[in-house]
Structure 1
Amino acid sequence: MKLLNEVLGINERNLELIHQHNHYEHYPLADNKLYGKKILQAANFPTPKLLKSYEYFFELRRIKEDLWNRADFVIKPARGMQGGGILIFDRFKNGSWLTTSNKIYSASDLFDHAAEILYGVYALDNTTDIVLVEERIVLDDLFAKITYRGIPDIRVLVFKHRVIMAMLRIPTSHSDGRANLHTGGIGVGIDLRSGVTTYAKFKKQIVDVHPDTGIKLSGIRIPNWSRILELSTRVQYHVPLGYIGIDFVLDKRYGPQILELNVRPGLEIQNVNRQGIKSVLKLR
């Protein structure tokens, strides 16, 4: 019963954390990945390189030319949610692009997908959106062994410049290479002091190993953990949101990169850490 009283629910999160500590006019800094990226880059935070962006339909006529012969890139909506609309490409062969899950996209397929993004198919409010093309992350060697395709990420919850909770999110075959938990990714709690993983949940069930790779999920020491914590505590000096989720990816070449910000971070992070957010805030 004590644990249940410590767990933060959706209504409490919205009323006591999001609405009290985040002004609505600042939501676009997290909801729009392009806006957030520009602010972070201006403050010298590491983020994946932006290769192209398309805001208008007439610009899409150049997408084939812009991406021809290019392999390692990611297409995503600027205002997408829960991983929708994201395509990760790692090969270019015979005039077509192949995703990390071996799906083939012709130039017309690429155009059609980008057009869907512009139409707002994947947007938070289904209004017109912006197409982002980013450099693909080169997986850290440790994460390359753990994951099933896709890119694992690290979700860090920050409240008023203080890291209060974190988890590792790992793609699976069920999630089609995406790290999002609702699509079938694995959530793994992280001990904040040591940066070592603790408990894992997959499809709301406790698991010890990755269902695809068989790798043990607890006891993993997150590389560059002190750097991730340091970056996390500095973000809110430049982004005026008092309660946010920050998603990091680890690039083999560049180290920790801030993938995106989230003004409405999910609550499953409490379950994989076996601790309620309310209790953490009281302790701190």
Structure 2
Amino acid sequence: MNWISPRTLKRLGMLNMNKRNVDYIARYNERSSYPLVDNKLKTKLAVAEYGVKTPKLLQTVRHQHQISGFRDMARDLAGFAIKPAKGSGGKGITVITGRDGDSFVKASGTREGAPVLERHLTNILAGLYSLAGAPDVAIVESLVESDPSLARYSHQGVPDIRIVVFQGYPVMAMLRLATTASDGKANLHQGAVGVGLDIGTGKSLNAVQFNRPITLHPDTGLALGNINIDAWGEMLEMASRCYEATGLGYMGVDLVVDANEGPLLLELNARPGLAIQMANGRGLLPRLRAVEGLKRLHFTPRERADYAMETLSQL
């Protein structure tokens, strides 16, 4: 953001990291809720009780001896994803998109045998990808088949939608698109494209890569100014439901749109980054303060989603 002056940042209501940490994360997030969102398996089980769908759980590997069942489980599967339950930033996630004889084809096109994937499961259990290297659990989920209308914009990776939710209100959203630079992952720090989304309509606003504005995807060459997310109200309501499921007052909700299942929750983040403001071209503070200023909070996820679409989109 070195092309925008500090005065402009203040005028846009940009939330900085110190203020986010002190005034929102520390104030509104109970420490007791962190283990719930820092563990993908616990997240899946918790949100299911509130009607939030996630990719189907195929296998849970808690102990080394359970790895022997992996080959039988995966024998007839064309695709799946292996994830560390406590991994962060996409570390340790292996996505299989097809088969070539006895080999598994990764999203990048490389082929791996079953022994390689079994060693990966061992590494996950040993805590190679978890915070502080703590022992972990490996989960195997069904492969997300991205909706073609969104998949076309991404390069070798599933596009996802990050929604910042405050006190149960979806306040800002962006679409994240994988690139060659990001190695097929929807990680903005690694070079993925962030496309700001109008919280009222789900239509694209602006796009950035490495915090610099762009108009075309660097790999697909497609224009990023006319993207429209279907079932937008449903996605906002789903994100809002995660507030009841976790009790976290300030969080990032990461969703994907599956071609067959519709919107699915990928994961939750109790410390969502601030790049979403760059993608939207506006700051979080006016919307956060609007929610803080409400004299009576809305009771249902649907009401909160409607309020966000009708009111917060104007801020």
TM tier, shorter chain?
Answer: over 0.9
Matches of residues 1-284 of structure 1 in structure 2 within 5 Å?
1-5=6-10, 6-284=13-291
In the alignment, is the contact (CA less than 8 A) between 1:189 and 1:198 conserved in 2? yes
Q: Distance in 1 between matches of 2:148 and 2:9?
A: 38
Q: Distance in 1 between matches of 2:193 and 2:69?
A: 37
Q: Distance in 2 between matches of 1:274 and 1:98?
A: 38
Match of 2:304 in 1: none
Query: What are the Cα deviations for residues 25-69 of structure 1, in whole angstroms up to 9, with x where unaligned?
Result: 110111001001001112221111111110111111222222123
Query: What are the Cα deviations for residues 193-246 of structure 1, in whole angstroms up to 9, with x where unaligned?
Result: 111011111122211011111111112111111111111222211211111110
- How well do the aligned residues superpose, as a CA RMSD in angstroms? 1.3
In the alignment, is the contact (CA less than 8 A) between 1:90 and 1:99 conserved in 2? yes
In the alignment, is the contact (CA less than 8 A) between 1:76 and 1:87 conserved in 2? yes
Q: What amino acid does structure 2 have at the position aligned with 1:22?
A: N
Match of 2:298 in 1: none
Q: Distance in 2 between matches of 1:29 and 1:220?
A: 33
In the alignment, is the contact (CA less than 8 A) between 1:148 and 1:173 conserved in 2? yes
Q: What amino acid does structure 1 have at the position aligned with 2:35?
A: P
Match of 2:302 in 1: none
Q: Distance in 2 between matches of 1:141 and 1:91?
A: 17
In the alignment, is the contact (CA less than 8 A) between 2:217 and 2:224 conserved in 1? yes
Secondary structure at 1:27 match in 2: helix
Structure 1 position 146, deviation (Å):
1.1
Structure 1 position 75, deviation (Å):
0.6
The percentage of aligned residue pairs carrying the same residue is: 37
Q: Distance in 1 between matches of 2:129 and 2:163?
A: 24
Structure 1 position 263, deviation (Å):
0.4
In the alignment, is the contact (CA less than 8 A) between 1:3 and 1:276 conserved in 2? no
The total of aligned residue pairs comes to 284
5+ residue gaps, structure 1, are none
In the alignment, is the contact (CA less than 8 A) between 1:251 and 1:257 conserved in 2? yes
Structure 1 position 162, deviation (Å):
0.8
Q: Distance in 1 between matches of 2:271 and 2:26?
A: 10
Q: What amino acid does structure 2 have at the position aligned with 1:115?
A: T
Q: Distance in 2 between matches of 1:214 and 1:91?
A: 26
Q: Distance in 1 between matches of 2:51 and 2:278?
A: 33
In the alignment, is the contact (CA less than 8 A) between 1:69 and 1:92 conserved in 2? no
Query: What are the Cα deviations for residues 226-271 of structure 1, in whole angstroms up to 9, with x where unaligned?
Result: 1111112222112111111100000111111111111011110011
